[in-house]
Structure 1
Amino acid sequence: MNITGNTIFIPGATSGLGLGLALRFQAAGNHVIIGGRRTELLDRIVEENPGIGAVQIDTADASSIERATQQVVAEHPGLDTVILMAGIMEPEDLHTADFLETAERTIATNLLGPIRLIAALVPHLASRPSATIMTVSSGLAFVPLPATPSYSATKAAIHSFSQSLRVQLADTSIQVLELAPPAVATSLMGQEDDPNAMPVDEFLDETMSILASQPDAREILVSRVGFLRFAEREGRFDDVLDLLSRHG
């Protein structure tokens, strides 16, 4: 991926890592369009960051995705990059059926949302001379956090889907990247003050450095995520799962 000169759509960029990446990419010389559900928040970000575009989108709603992607392509025909940041993470207790509502909401947002966005945007992206789809999984795609089983499962599914997507789109102009963050100090699961979470700026610095120095990378892995990403390969899976089972 060339990190400058792109037109980038980032659904799920009104806070946390999504907003952080949006601002970093804008500073690197890209035209960025952010997406989110709350129009008042979108308006404030646009006002505070001249040059950023915005579109209202609910990535758990198929009709909202259809409307928003049509709007983005119509208003920004140079669109050549999408970063699929939107996601939710909530604890679940699997002892009773009460968890099902959370599981369904998580799957709709974290798995069906990106798949629907990809379906809507691939025809346009494939028409560009060079394009990028960046999916967002997690270190928990590789060792699950038992307290958030549906979140972990959706991220494992995104990892698998990204691999298949990359193979199928190899005959197009679209590069498929997978960003797999570790725990980062954002509002996701209240990790803002977690001393074990990676500071946001540190994550953004390392991510942008990897993208700049490794333009052909398939997985964007900051150093801290290796603990999870390579646990099974290194024979640590059971120990890491046991460690994660004590948290959340």
Structure 2
Amino acid sequence: MRPIIQLLHFGYHQAMSCIFPVAIFGTLALSSVIKVPFIHRYDAILIILLGVQYLMYRSGLETHDEIKVICTFHFIGLVLELYKVWMGSWSYPEPGYTKMLGVPLYSGFMYASVASYMCQVWRRLRMDMTGWPGLTPSVLLGGAIYFNFFTHHFIPDFRWWLTALVFIIFWKTWIIYRVRTVTYRMPLTFAFIIVGLFIWLAENIATFFGAWKYPDQHQTWQLVSFSKISSWFLLVIISVIIVAQLKHVKAKTLKQAKLFH
């Protein structure tokens, strides 16, 4: 009976951590079948998601620090979207007033939703890490992964070399998480793979409801290429590096503040 109770508690915290991603996909689904009068779909999605973020903050579901992380990811994702759309990797074919260089501003929220999940699950499961490689290796690797999304259009794609580096740099890193009074752990790289797979599944849902379209989806919807799993795997690593480093800095600051008091 105890394993079932533990699983239910774990599932509850996972579900609560996914509130913002679920809000995004719910909005995409409803807006694809329900026409909002006097406003373009992309603009309506942006307004709704801004409202969801405001309500989550005001209700205490997200903290001030988490909002700052989400805004950071929104900017990082929007820059990547602008570049990828410019390069023709995918497109947003519908009209909208809140589009910049062909990219609707709501698109950054799809990246921010990953950050929202990371922050929420970290807090709810009282997560920690052992064997963290430190600031320099993790930031350099995260930066290399991010810039590879840009540079592979002009020079060879180094994603598989970077993936190998991930396993080398993080091979000693374990996630510690707690469900009620029981502590569990798993390899960080395994967590990367799981989250990357779920984001790929979510991406299929998003493209099905017309959030954006890949070149081979303009005539009819098709399953997103399995190769995208590796892209999301690497993007999740950037998310974890930023969130983990910020949590580490905050914990260190709080510890120093307690010492002075």
The alignment's TM-score, normalised by the length of structure 1, stands at 0.29
The alignment's TM-score, normalised by the length of structure 2, stands at 0.28
Report which structure shows greater RCO (CA 8 Å, sep ≥6): 2
Q: Which one has a bigger Cα radius of gyration? A: 2
